[in-house]
Amino acid sequence: MVSAELKILSGTSNQHLAGLIAKNLKINLTDVEICRFADREIYVQINESVRGADVFVIQSTSNPGNENIMELLIMLDTLKRASAERITAVIPYYGYGRQDRKAQPRTPITAKLVANLISTAGANRILLLDVHALQIQGYFDIPVDHLFATPVLFDFFRNDKRDFVVVSPDAGGVERARFFARLLSTNMAIIDKRRSEKNKATMMNIIGENLIKGANLIIIDDMIDTAGTLCSAANALAERGARDIYACATHGVFSASAIDNINKSALTKVVVTDSIYFNEEKKSQTDKIETRSVSGLMAETIKRIHEDKSVATLFLDADTGGIVVLE
């Protein structure tokens, strides 16, 4: 859609990332007013014309998730009524992504509900980053582009000459860990765990335990919430003789006592992206957490979508079909 003017709008959930994306694209953020009335109703007004424009709305639906989702829906509706030519919802962190199936009787599939709401509100296409369950892409009846943050996280270790072993914290994350291990040309171990209650898990055993003793480890996951599971895994790996233990995750949710858990754990460093804004208050509480920006990756993707170019070629290796590193 090169003929249409490219415009970037930001919700309030991650204005820092939106600003970096706009800077990468060498354009200004579109002027939009978002405020709350006294009763907490959300009001949106776009202060410049978007008629006929190719608009990308950047909004992570992180905590407070319900408010940020509602804000996104209102922005999409506003753009639709203002006659934008195409509206893309850019959702660096997709809230409710863990409610992707009926795990028990009489429970919702809220990830699908949110997808329905976003489509109905006016989005013509979706841009996601490392969504928790890949099947969420199929919950939308409109085009979805899905990005992987693996190359961005890998950049933290690019010039580190030490040997590492990549660890998947559970069986569900094996593919992600395998990609990361391939980038590092190294081995992989898997933690076999059983979840005992919400946000907690009990470690059972380690597949590849012979690789742990004396090794530098990288635990790779899609998100860190309370960090309880992650810290338990790190402490257990340390007890098995691991040296430095790093954790990498796309989404730093850091709920409840997550930062305190990390500070007290055997983790050497935690590396996350800026898909969720890591504010100054949280930064002041720890020196163990570092962020890497996905703004360059997302800006390039937005540029390609706007110019009707392939997004898949950002990641796909023609020989293996796997993820390649962005240079």
DSSP secondary structure, 58-112, as one string: E----SSHHHHHHHHHHHHHHHHHTT-SEEEEEESS-TTTT--S--STT---HHH
The DSSP output letter for 276 is: S
* Catalytic residue list contains 288: no
Phi-psi region of 322 (alpha: psi -120 to 50; beta: other; left: phi over 0): beta
**What does the DSSP assignment read for 182-213?**
HHHT-EEEEEEEEEEETTEEEEEEEETGGGTT
> Residues 7, 23, 26, 193: which is the catalytic one?
193
- Cβ neighbours, 10 Å, residue 231: 22
Which residue, among 233, 218, 224, has the nearest Cα to 158 in the 3D structure?
218
275 closest CA partner among 58, 9, 55: 58
Q: Which two tokens stand for residue 127?
A: 């841009």
CB count, 10 Å around CB of 179?
Answer: 20
Catalytic residues: 193
